[in-house]
Chain A
Protein backbone atom coordinates (compact mmCIF):
# COMPACT_ATOMS: atom_id res chain seq x y z
CA UNK A 1 0.00 0.00 0.00
CA UNK A 2 1.65 3.29 -1.06
CA UNK A 3 1.75 5.65 1.88
CA UNK A 4 1.48 9.42 1.50
CA UNK A 5 4.05 11.22 3.60
CA UNK A 6 2.07 12.52 6.58
CA UNK A 7 2.39 16.09 7.86
CA UNK A 8 3.92 14.96 11.12
CA UNK A 9 6.89 13.41 9.35
CA UNK A 10 9.07 16.52 9.26
CA UNK A 11 12.84 16.23 8.70
CA UNK A 12 13.40 16.80 12.44
CA UNK A 13 10.96 14.02 13.36
CA UNK A 14 12.48 11.71 10.75
CA UNK A 15 15.89 12.28 12.31
CA UNK A 16 14.59 11.57 15.79
CA UNK A 17 12.77 8.38 14.71
CA UNK A 18 15.96 7.19 13.10
CA UNK A 19 17.81 7.76 16.38
CA UNK A 20 15.15 5.88 18.33
CA UNK A 21 15.41 2.95 15.95
CA UNK A 22 19.19 2.90 16.04
CA UNK A 23 19.29 2.98 19.85
CA UNK A 24 16.73 0.18 20.01
CA UNK A 25 18.66 -1.96 17.56
CA UNK A 26 21.87 -1.47 19.56
CA UNK A 27 19.98 -2.58 22.65
CA UNK A 28 18.48 -5.75 21.14
CA UNK A 29 20.85 -6.75 18.32
CA UNK A 30 24.14 -5.18 19.42
CA UNK A 31 26.22 -2.40 17.89
CA UNK A 32 27.54 -4.39 14.95
CA UNK A 33 24.16 -5.58 13.67
CA UNK A 34 22.63 -2.16 14.25
CA UNK A 35 25.38 -0.67 12.10
CA UNK A 36 24.78 -3.30 9.41
CA UNK A 37 21.04 -2.70 9.40
CA UNK A 38 21.61 0.96 8.65
CA UNK A 39 23.87 0.25 5.65
CA UNK A 40 22.51 0.66 2.11
CA UNK A 41 20.70 -2.49 0.93
CA UNK A 42 23.47 -3.91 -1.27
CA UNK A 43 26.12 -3.48 1.43
CA UNK A 44 23.77 -4.92 4.03
CA UNK A 45 23.06 -7.96 1.89
CA UNK A 46 26.76 -8.46 1.16
CA UNK A 47 27.54 -8.42 4.89
CA UNK A 48 24.77 -10.92 5.70
CA UNK A 49 25.82 -13.18 2.84
CA UNK A 50 29.41 -13.21 4.12
CA UNK A 51 28.22 -13.83 7.67
CA UNK A 52 26.09 -16.82 6.65
CA UNK A 53 28.78 -18.26 4.36
CA UNK A 54 31.35 -17.96 7.14
CA UNK A 55 29.05 -19.61 9.68
CA UNK A 56 28.30 -22.49 7.30
CA UNK A 57 32.01 -23.03 6.66
CA UNK A 58 32.41 -23.31 10.44
CA UNK A 59 29.68 -25.93 10.60
CA UNK A 60 26.70 -23.89 11.76
CA UNK A 61 23.45 -25.54 10.67
CA UNK A 62 20.73 -23.22 9.42
CA UNK A 63 18.19 -25.84 8.38
CA UNK A 64 14.73 -25.28 9.82
CA UNK A 65 12.47 -28.00 11.06
CA UNK A 66 9.76 -28.93 8.57
CA UNK A 67 6.50 -28.72 10.53
CA UNK A 68 3.89 -28.57 7.79
CA UNK A 69 2.96 -25.14 9.04
CA UNK A 70 4.75 -21.81 9.14
CA UNK A 71 5.41 -19.88 12.33
Chain B
Protein backbone atom coordinates (compact mmCIF):
# COMPACT_ATOMS: atom_id res chain seq x y z
CA UNK B 1 0.00 0.00 0.00
CA UNK B 2 1.21 3.50 -0.82
CA UNK B 3 2.45 5.50 2.12
CA UNK B 4 -0.07 8.06 3.27
CA UNK B 5 1.04 11.50 2.14
CA UNK B 6 0.97 14.57 4.32
CA UNK B 7 -1.56 16.12 1.95
CA UNK B 8 -3.91 13.17 2.48
CA UNK B 9 -3.31 13.35 6.22
CA UNK B 10 -4.20 17.03 6.33
CA UNK B 11 -7.30 16.53 4.19
CA UNK B 12 -8.36 13.74 6.51
CA UNK B 13 -8.11 15.90 9.62
CA UNK B 14 -9.75 18.90 7.94
CA UNK B 15 -12.58 16.59 6.85
CA UNK B 16 -12.94 15.36 10.42
CA UNK B 17 -13.28 18.92 11.75
CA UNK B 18 -15.75 19.82 9.01
CA UNK B 19 -17.83 16.76 9.86
CA UNK B 20 -17.78 17.59 13.58
CA UNK B 21 -18.69 21.23 12.96
CA UNK B 22 -21.57 20.10 10.74
CA UNK B 23 -22.91 18.21 13.77
CA UNK B 24 -22.72 21.37 15.86
CA UNK B 25 -19.48 20.56 17.64
CA UNK B 26 -17.31 23.61 18.27
CA UNK B 27 -13.79 22.46 17.44
CA UNK B 28 -10.72 23.77 15.69
CA UNK B 29 -7.31 22.64 14.50
CA UNK B 30 -4.46 24.34 16.33
CA UNK B 31 -0.67 24.14 16.86
CA UNK B 32 1.55 23.02 13.97
CA UNK B 33 -1.06 22.66 11.22
CA UNK B 34 -2.48 26.05 12.18
CA UNK B 35 1.00 27.60 12.06
CA UNK B 36 1.36 26.46 8.46
CA UNK B 37 -1.95 28.08 7.61
CA UNK B 38 -0.95 31.37 9.23
CA UNK B 39 2.45 31.51 7.52
CA UNK B 40 4.75 30.31 10.28
CA UNK B 41 5.42 26.90 8.79
CA UNK B 42 6.24 24.14 11.16
CA UNK B 43 7.07 20.59 10.09
CA UNK B 44 4.48 18.62 11.97
CA UNK B 45 2.67 15.48 10.95
CA UNK B 46 0.20 15.14 13.79
CA UNK B 47 -2.94 17.10 14.43
CA UNK B 48 -3.85 18.99 17.62
CA UNK B 49 -7.50 19.80 17.99
CA UNK B 50 -9.47 21.94 20.42
CA UNK B 51 -12.92 20.64 21.25
CA UNK B 52 -15.66 22.29 23.30
CA UNK B 53 -15.73 20.32 26.52
CA UNK B 54 -19.46 19.69 26.41
CA UNK B 55 -19.13 18.02 22.99
CA UNK B 56 -16.93 15.15 24.13
CA UNK B 57 -19.59 12.49 23.51
CA UNK B 58 -20.35 13.59 19.95
CA UNK B 59 -16.64 13.86 19.27
CA UNK B 60 -16.04 10.32 20.51
CA UNK B 61 -18.95 8.94 18.48
CA UNK B 62 -17.54 10.59 15.37
CA UNK B 63 -14.07 9.18 15.98
CA UNK B 64 -15.62 5.76 16.38
CA UNK B 65 -17.24 5.95 12.96
CA UNK B 66 -14.34 7.59 11.11
CA UNK B 67 -11.80 5.39 9.40
CA UNK B 68 -8.64 6.18 7.48
CA UNK B 69 -7.93 3.78 4.60
CA UNK B 70 -9.93 1.19 6.50
CA UNK B 71 -8.09 1.70 9.79
CA UNK B 72 -10.28 2.40 12.82
CA UNK B 73 -9.52 4.99 15.44
CA UNK B 74 -8.13 3.93 18.80
CA UNK B 75 -6.53 5.53 21.83
CA UNK B 76 -2.85 6.11 21.07
CA UNK B 77 -1.39 5.67 24.52
CA UNK B 78 -2.12 4.46 28.00
CA UNK B 79 -1.09 7.91 29.17
CA UNK B 80 -3.87 10.32 28.44
CA UNK B 81 -7.31 10.99 29.78
CA UNK B 82 -10.52 9.52 28.40
CA UNK B 83 -12.31 11.88 26.04
CA UNK B 84 -14.88 12.93 28.59
CA UNK B 85 -16.18 16.35 29.62
CA UNK B 86 -15.04 15.86 33.21
CA UNK B 87 -11.34 15.58 32.30
CA UNK B 88 -11.37 17.79 29.22
CA UNK B 89 -12.56 20.69 31.36
CA UNK B 90 -9.66 20.10 33.73
CA UNK B 91 -7.08 20.63 31.00
CA UNK B 92 -6.30 17.00 30.15
CA UNK B 93 -5.54 15.80 26.62
CA UNK B 94 -6.80 12.62 24.95
CA UNK B 95 -4.54 10.94 22.42
CA UNK B 96 -5.85 9.02 19.40
CA UNK B 97 -4.40 7.30 16.35
CA UNK B 98 -5.43 5.56 13.17
CA UNK B 99 -2.80 2.85 12.76
CA UNK B 100 -1.89 1.68 9.29
CA UNK B 101 0.71 -0.92 8.34
CA UNK B 102 3.85 1.03 9.26
CA UNK B 103 2.59 4.47 10.20
CA UNK B 104 -0.14 6.25 12.06
CA UNK B 105 -2.21 9.39 11.92
CA UNK B 106 -2.10 10.88 15.39
CA UNK B 107 -4.64 13.23 16.91
CA UNK B 108 -4.51 15.02 20.26
CA UNK B 109 -7.78 16.45 21.56
CA UNK B 110 -8.09 18.98 24.37
CA UNK B 111 -10.72 21.40 25.57
CA UNK B 112 -8.64 24.07 27.29
CA UNK B 113 -6.12 26.06 25.26
CA UNK B 114 -3.00 26.33 27.43
CA UNK B 115 -2.32 29.95 28.44
CA UNK B 116 -5.56 31.09 26.82
CA UNK B 117 -6.59 34.59 27.92
CA UNK B 118 -9.88 34.58 26.01
CA UNK B 119 -12.30 31.79 25.09
CA UNK B 120 -10.84 30.06 22.02
CA UNK B 121 -14.38 29.09 20.94
CA UNK B 122 -15.35 32.70 20.38
CA UNK B 123 -12.98 33.37 17.51
CA UNK B 124 -12.22 30.28 15.48
CA UNK B 125 -11.32 30.84 11.83
CA UNK B 126 -13.18 28.21 9.85
CA UNK B 127 -11.56 24.87 10.61
CA UNK B 128 -8.77 26.50 12.60
CA UNK B 129 -8.22 28.19 15.96
CA UNK B 130 -7.46 31.90 15.74
CA UNK B 131 -3.96 33.24 15.27
CA UNK B 132 -4.18 34.82 18.74
CA UNK B 133 -5.04 31.49 20.41
CA UNK B 134 -2.29 29.65 18.55
CA UNK B 135 0.24 32.35 19.50
CA UNK B 136 -0.63 32.07 23.19
CA UNK B 137 -0.25 28.32 22.96
CA UNK B 138 3.27 28.75 21.62
CA UNK B 139 4.54 30.17 24.93
CA UNK B 140 5.76 26.73 25.94
CA UNK B 141 8.71 25.44 27.92
CA UNK B 142 10.53 24.72 24.63
CA UNK B 143 12.76 27.53 23.32
CA UNK B 144 12.11 26.42 19.73
CA UNK B 145 8.43 27.42 19.97
CA UNK B 146 9.07 31.08 20.74
CA UNK B 147 10.02 32.31 17.23
CA UNK B 148 6.60 31.03 16.13
CA UNK B 149 4.89 33.12 18.80
CA UNK B 150 6.74 36.22 17.64
CA UNK B 151 5.97 35.50 13.99
CA UNK B 152 2.27 35.09 14.76
CA UNK B 153 2.36 38.33 16.76
CA UNK B 154 3.71 40.17 13.73
CA UNK B 155 1.05 38.53 11.56
CA UNK B 156 -1.64 39.87 13.89
CA UNK B 157 -0.27 43.40 13.76
CA UNK B 158 -0.05 43.19 9.98
CA UNK B 159 -3.72 42.22 10.00
CA UNK B 160 -4.52 45.28 12.13
CA UNK B 161 -5.05 43.31 15.36
CA UNK B 162 -3.20 45.16 18.17
CA UNK B 163 -3.07 42.00 20.27
CA UNK B 164 -0.03 41.14 18.17
CA UNK B 165 1.94 43.30 20.64
CA UNK B 166 1.34 40.64 23.28
CA UNK B 167 3.11 37.94 21.31
CA UNK B 168 6.36 39.52 20.14
CA UNK B 169 9.32 38.42 22.24
CA UNK B 170 12.17 39.56 20.02
CA UNK B 171 13.77 42.79 21.12
CA UNK B 172 14.73 43.98 17.63
CA UNK B 173 11.29 43.29 16.17
CA UNK B 174 9.61 45.11 19.05
CA UNK B 175 11.77 48.22 18.54
CA UNK B 176 11.20 48.16 14.78
CA UNK B 177 7.46 47.79 15.24
CA UNK B 178 7.37 50.59 17.82
CA UNK B 179 9.05 52.89 15.32
CA UNK B 180 6.15 52.32 12.90
CA UNK B 181 2.95 51.88 14.85
CA UNK B 182 1.45 52.88 18.21
CA UNK B 183 1.24 50.45 21.11
CA UNK B 184 -2.09 50.93 22.93
CA UNK B 185 -1.86 51.79 26.62
CA UNK B 186 -4.27 49.01 27.59
CA UNK B 187 -1.83 46.48 26.15
CA UNK B 188 1.05 48.05 28.07
CA UNK B 189 -1.05 47.54 31.20
CA UNK B 190 -1.45 43.87 30.27
CA UNK B 191 2.19 43.41 29.34
CA UNK B 192 4.41 45.85 31.29
CA UNK B 193 7.51 45.11 29.23
CA UNK B 194 5.91 47.09 26.39
CA UNK B 195 6.22 50.19 28.54
CA UNK B 196 9.97 50.13 27.93
CA UNK B 197 9.48 50.68 24.20
CA UNK B 198 8.59 54.36 24.12
CA UNK B 199 11.91 55.44 25.63
CA UNK B 200 13.87 52.65 23.90
CA UNK B 201 14.94 51.63 27.39
CA UNK B 202 18.03 49.38 27.19
CA UNK B 203 16.57 47.18 29.94
CA UNK B 204 14.13 45.86 27.32
CA UNK B 205 16.60 43.08 26.42
CA UNK B 206 16.81 41.60 29.90
CA UNK B 207 13.12 42.24 30.58
CA UNK B 208 12.26 40.07 27.58
CA UNK B 209 14.63 37.35 28.75
CA UNK B 210 12.97 37.38 32.16
CA UNK B 211 9.52 37.27 30.64
CA UNK B 212 10.32 34.30 28.39
CA UNK B 213 12.05 32.44 31.21
CA UNK B 214 9.00 32.93 33.42
CA UNK B 215 6.54 31.63 30.81
CA UNK B 216 8.80 28.65 30.15
CA UNK B 217 8.94 27.80 33.84
CA UNK B 218 5.19 28.26 34.15
CA UNK B 219 4.66 25.69 31.42
CA UNK B 220 7.27 23.39 32.92
CA UNK B 221 5.61 23.41 36.35
CA UNK B 222 2.14 23.02 34.78
CA UNK B 223 3.23 19.89 32.88
CA UNK B 224 4.88 18.45 35.99
CA UNK B 225 1.63 18.87 37.92
CA UNK B 226 -0.25 16.76 35.37
CA UNK B 227 2.54 14.20 35.08
CA UNK B 228 2.70 13.65 38.82
CA UNK B 229 -1.00 12.96 39.12
CA UNK B 230 -1.32 10.53 36.23
CA UNK B 231 0.91 7.67 37.36
CA UNK B 232 -1.46 5.29 39.15
CA UNK B 233 -4.06 5.79 36.42
CA UNK B 234 -1.55 4.84 33.72
CA UNK B 235 -0.54 1.69 35.58
CA UNK B 236 -4.17 0.63 35.93
CA UNK B 237 -4.94 1.32 32.26
CA UNK B 238 -1.85 -0.56 31.17
CA UNK B 239 -2.79 -3.63 33.22
CA UNK B 240 -6.32 -3.76 31.88
CA UNK B 241 -6.53 -5.76 28.63
CA UNK B 242 -9.68 -3.85 27.68
CA UNK B 243 -7.52 -0.75 27.23
CA UNK B 244 -6.02 -2.32 24.13
CA UNK B 245 -9.24 -3.82 22.75
CA UNK B 246 -9.79 -3.51 19.04
CA UNK B 247 -12.75 -1.18 19.41
CA UNK B 248 -12.59 2.39 20.64
CA UNK B 249 -15.70 2.11 22.83
CA UNK B 250 -14.20 -0.67 24.96
CA UNK B 251 -10.89 1.18 25.21
CA UNK B 252 -12.81 4.24 26.30
CA UNK B 253 -14.90 2.43 28.89
CA UNK B 254 -11.78 0.99 30.47
CA UNK B 255 -10.17 4.44 30.71
CA UNK B 256 -13.29 6.06 32.16
CA UNK B 257 -13.58 3.42 34.87
CA UNK B 258 -9.94 3.81 35.92
CA UNK B 259 -10.08 7.60 35.62
CA UNK B 260 -13.10 7.77 37.91
CA UNK B 261 -11.04 6.08 40.61
CA UNK B 262 -7.55 7.35 39.95
CA UNK B 263 -7.32 10.41 37.72
CA UNK B 264 -7.89 13.81 39.35
CA UNK B 265 -10.19 15.82 37.14
CA UNK B 266 -8.50 19.15 37.58
CA UNK B 267 -4.96 18.86 38.93
CA UNK B 268 -4.12 22.53 38.33
CA UNK B 269 -7.07 23.66 40.41
CA UNK B 270 -6.02 21.23 43.15
CA UNK B 271 -2.43 22.47 42.99
CA UNK B 272 -3.53 26.11 42.95
CA UNK B 273 -2.93 28.72 40.27
CA UNK B 274 -1.28 31.08 42.76
CA UNK B 275 1.12 28.37 43.83
CA UNK B 276 1.84 27.50 40.20
CA UNK B 277 2.73 31.13 39.48
CA UNK B 278 4.85 31.41 42.63
CA UNK B 279 6.83 28.28 41.80
CA UNK B 280 7.37 29.39 38.21
CA UNK B 281 8.61 32.75 39.39
CA UNK B 282 10.93 31.16 41.90
CA UNK B 283 12.43 28.91 39.21
CA UNK B 284 12.72 31.82 36.79
CA UNK B 285 14.61 33.83 39.41
CA UNK B 286 17.31 31.17 39.39
CA UNK B 287 17.64 31.25 35.60
CA UNK B 288 16.92 34.78 34.43
CA UNK B 289 19.23 37.83 34.70
CA UNK B 290 18.98 39.65 38.01
CA UNK B 291 16.22 42.23 38.04
CA UNK B 292 14.69 40.95 34.80
CA UNK B 293 11.45 39.75 36.39
CA UNK B 294 10.36 43.25 37.34
CA UNK B 295 8.10 43.57 34.26
CA UNK B 296 6.25 40.25 34.39
CA UNK B 297 2.62 40.29 33.26
CA UNK B 298 -0.28 39.22 35.42
CA UNK B 299 -0.90 35.63 34.31
CA UNK B 300 -3.90 34.66 36.42
CA UNK B 301 -6.11 35.53 33.46
CA UNK B 302 -4.35 32.98 31.24
CA UNK B 303 -6.34 29.98 32.41
CA UNK B 304 -9.57 30.72 30.60
CA UNK B 305 -11.66 27.59 30.13
CA UNK B 306 -10.08 25.80 33.04
CA UNK B 307 -12.54 25.34 35.87
CA UNK B 308 -10.61 26.94 38.72
- Could you list which residues of chain A lie within 8 angstroms of chain B, going by C-beta atoms? 1, 3-6, 8-9, 13-14, 16-18, 20-21, 24-25, 28-29, 33, 36-38, 41, 44-53, 55-57, 62-64, 66-71
Judging by beta carbons under 8 Å apart, are B43 and A66 in contact?
no
Shortest Cβ distance from A26 into chain B, in angstroms? 11
Q: Mark B97-110, 1 if CB is under 8 A from A, else 0.
A: 00000011010101
Judging by beta carbons under 8 Å apart, are B93 and A67 in contact?
yes
Kindly report which residue of chain B lies nearest to residue A36, judged by CB atoms.
Answer: B41
Segment at the interface with A among B61-69, B138-146, B239-247: B138-146
B235 contacts A by Cβ under 8 Å: no
Interface size class of B (residues with CB under 8 A): 35 or more
Judging by beta carbons under 8 Å apart, are B154 and A24 in contact?
yes
Judging by beta carbons under 8 Å apart, are A13 and B180 in contact?
yes
28 A-B residue pairs with Cβ-Cβ distance under 8 Å, sorted by A, are: A1-B130, A1-B132, A1-B161, A4-B160, A9-B160, A13-B180, A20-B154, A21-B151, A21-B158, A24-B151, A28-B147, A28-B150, A44-B39, A49-B6, A49-B7, A64-B46, A66-B77, A66-B79, A66-B80, A66-B95, A67-B226, A68-B230, A69-B223, A69-B226, A70-B93, A71-B137, A71-B141, A71-B223
Q: B45 contacts which of A4, A24, A56 (Cβ < 8 Å)?
A: A56
Q: A62 contacts which of B46, B77, B162 (Cβ < 8 Å)?
A: B46
Judging by beta carbons under 8 Å apart, are A64 and B10 in contact?
no
Q: A68 contacts which of B6, B48, B92, B145 (Cβ < 8 Å)?
A: B92
Contacts of B31 in A (CB 8 A): 70
Contacts of B172 in A (CB 8 A): 24
Contacts of A50 in B (CB 8 A): 6
Judging by beta carbons under 8 Å apart, are B158 and A18 in contact?
yes
Judging by beta carbons under 8 Å apart, are A68 and B93 in contact?
yes
Shortest Cβ distance from A61 into chain B, in angstroms? 9
Bound-state Cα–Cα, A52 to B4, Å: 11
Kindly report which residue of chain A lies nearest to residue B159, judged by CB atoms.
Answer: A3
Contacts of A45 in B (CB 8 A): 7, 10, 36-37
Q: Mark B41-52, 1 if CB is under 8 A from A, else 0.
A: 101111010000
Kindly report which residue of chain B lies nearest to residue A4, judged by CB atoms.
Answer: B160
Most buried by A among B142, B161, B219: B161
Shortest Cβ distance from B8 into chain A, in angstroms? 9
Pairs A-B, 3 closest by C-beta atoms: A66-B77, A62-B45, A28-B147
Q: Mark B13-44, 1 if CB is under 8 A from A, else 0.
A: 00000000000000000010000110111011
Judging by beta carbons under 8 Å apart, are B43 and A48 in contact?
yes
Bound-state Cα–Cα, A59 to B182, Å: 48
Contacts of A20 in B (CB 8 A): 154, 173, 176-177, 180
